Structure 1
Amino acid sequence: MRPGERVEVLFSSDILCPAPPRYEPGRSVIAFLSNGNGRWWTVGMSYGTRHPTNPADVDAYRRVVTAARDAQARSAPPHRKETANSEQEHLDWQVRAALHPATRWDGLYELSRGAAALTRAQRQQLAHGFTTQPSFDLTVAQMLTTLRGFPHKDFDRATANVLETVFVEQGAPPWISKAFDLLRERHGEKPEPRTPWYKRVPSKSPIEAKAEQARALARDWLSFKKRHGLKPRRLVFLAAPLVDETGGTLPF
């Protein structure tokens, strides 16, 4: 595609599951497309459309996409023999993507599953990246999972600031209980597994059950801060620049 070129992409907004790509009038979109038989379509359904909110987000995507393209070119014939450690290069790319909030989910999607052995330097990179540019979505829990067992006081403080902000601004989104318990773990606590709201209060409506769980989490958060003498500060809340069911808004 050339700059300024117009393309028509086939998609359906009526599909609910799997979540479809989202193209909204007047809203910028970074789309991952493929074509064939003279038609364009979105790769990976909802995964294939991202919605940047500022030029920095666009630049972040441009950097990681360019890095991925270059790595793939190096691993393809006739250069394949020259790139003996493509797995390490893939891991480096994931860490790089996880440093910026806009692409953090893309980097942590695999890292948070624990398949790769991160070096201490890479964990340090991730902790520093989150501390300097925190996010306020599912990637908080993913980052805590990825850095499990890696001590970093600045990261702990930054995470507490994020959770304080989210509790005030959003209440209790689905991922926050996981993030909260992982932070408790980092402070030496051993949280008991939480019962999901839909099993906890079966006799109540979903709205009532969710509200009760949110109140319980808020009480636990206050107690946790008191136990450890924490005084987290509220940050400027930056809502996830993503459409529902994509990237950092996916259920944990």
Structure 2
Amino acid sequence: MNKVIETILNHRSLRQFEDKPLTDEQIKTIVSCAQAASTSSFIQAYSIIGVTDKDKKKKLSELAGNQEQVAKNGHFFIFCADLYRHALIGEQEQKNVIPSIESTEKFMVALIDAALAAQNAAIAAESMGLGICYIGGIRNQLEEVKKLLNTPERVIPLFGLAVGYPTNITGTKPRLPFEHIYHVNEYQPNKEEYLNQLKKYDSVISSYYEERTGGKRKDRWTEQMAIMLEKQSRMYMKEFVQKNKLDLR
């Protein structure tokens, strides 16, 4: 096993960081690694906003559900789906690109491009001994986030990435079984086998929480998911995306 694989397999979300900013060189390296990620048809349909202003970080923390790691970290990156530049390209090259830009396909491309770039950035940061935590909570109130970040139409902030020097290293969470995730040649939806795999995984997760919390918590994964999914959250997203001239047809 090489160091790259060790870094990937040792991933864990960390939420407590030293009050120590990343250097310009570290930031540039992380962003350069993000840019090295694969991108569909070389479209590069994303942008990254680095937030250093303490007041903005504090406001973003509040908008994300009062998550402390948004305000206190070494650097806070926000990954955005971005087709604004492509609209400008259409104007420059005198081509009608709007129907394509406003398609669900190109919206999906922008989401995927941003996610691939972010994961490269995360691995780069962790390989440098830094900790990371993805922040989906910035989508709680996207109108306010867009105003704060001054993003134009066709640009949507998707998630944040808090990066910094960790003060507390937690254990890695056990993932779903290999057999549950990986299918050979075709999807194999054997319901009985699926439920048995989930039951075994529930036992693993329950034991993980019980050990980590000294017996204060031992909830099951399926229990977590059912409770979370029963609550409808961010149901305004389709309207918001369409309002920002993405994913219209």
TM-score, normalised to structure 2, is 0.27
Say which structure, 1 or 2, has more relative contact order (CA 8 Å, 6+ apart): 2
